[in-house]
Amino acid sequence: MLQEKICLVTGSARGIGRATAIEMARQGAGAVAISDINEEGARETVELVKAEGADAEMFPCDMTEPTQVKDLIEATVQRFGGLDVLHNNAGVHESDFTTDLSVETLPEEIFDRIYRINLKGPWLAMKYAAPHLRRSTRGPSIVNAGSTGGVIGYPSMNAYGATKAGLIQLTRCVAVDLAPDVRVNAYTPASVDTPMVQKFTEAAQSAEQRHAIESSMVATHLIPRLGRPEEVAKLVCYLASDDAAWITGTVFGIDGGCLAWRGSNE
Catalytic positions are 160
Beta-bridge partners for 141:
85, 183
Q: Supply angle C-alpha 183, 83, 71, rounded to 5.
A: 115
Q: How many residues can be counted in the chain? A: 266
Q: How many CB atoms lie within 10 A of CB 105?
A: 10
233 Cβ contact list (under 8 Å, min separation 6): 16, 19, 20, 22, 23
Q: What are phi and psi of 179, to 5 degrees?
A: -70, 145
Burial class (CB in 10 A: 0-12, 13-18, 19+), 40: exposed
b/e burial code for range 113-126 (CB count within 10 A of at least 16 → b): bbbbbbbbbbbbbb
| Phi then psi dihedrals of residue 57, to 5 deg | -150, 150
Backbone angles phi, psi at 123, to 5 degrees: -60, -45
